[in-house]
């Protein structure tokens, strides 16, 4: 039988190997939360919704971050009665 030290990856520290599934889970949750948020946003046009979904799928880590930092807070201006 081989010991744990013999099976350890000499390049990647053990703490990073343990954190990898956690980082993947956080990315998956962020991705799903962004998709739900995009679909529930009433301020977006249908074309805007589709474009944001495409951005999130095209860039799975950066897309949701950009959505939550910019897209979810964008508001459309309505014409004023002046």
Each of the 82 residues of the chain gets a pLDDT tens digit; together they read: 555 566 777 788 888 888 889 999 999 999 999 999 999 999 999 999 999 999 999 999 999 999 999 987 765 555 555 4
Per-residue model confidence (pLDDT) at position 5: 61
Which helix (H) or strand (E) covers residue 68, if one does? helix 62-69
Per-residue model confidence (pLDDT) at position 14: 82
Distance between first and last Cα of the chain: 82
Q: Cβ neighbours of residue 39 under 8 Å, at least 6 residues apart? A: 49, 53
Per-residue model confidence (pLDDT) at position 82: 47
pTM for this predicted structure: 0.71
How far apart are the C-alpha atoms of 29 and 3, rounded to whole Å? Answer: 35
| Of the candidates 69, 71, 60, the residue with the CA atom closest to the CA atom of residue 29 | 60
How far apart are the C-alpha atoms of 11 and 50, rounded to whole Å? Answer: 42
């Amino acid at each position: 039988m081989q010991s744990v030290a013999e099976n350890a990856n000499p390049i990647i520290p053990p703490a990073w190997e343990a954190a990898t599934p956690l980082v993947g889970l956080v990315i998956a949750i962020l991705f799903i939360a962004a998709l739900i948020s995009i679909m529930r946003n009433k301020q977006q046009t249908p074309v805007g919704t589709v474009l944001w979904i495409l951005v999130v799928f095209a860039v799975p880590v950066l897309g949701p971050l950009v959505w939550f930092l910019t897209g979810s807070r964008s508001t459309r201006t309505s014409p004023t009665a002046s």
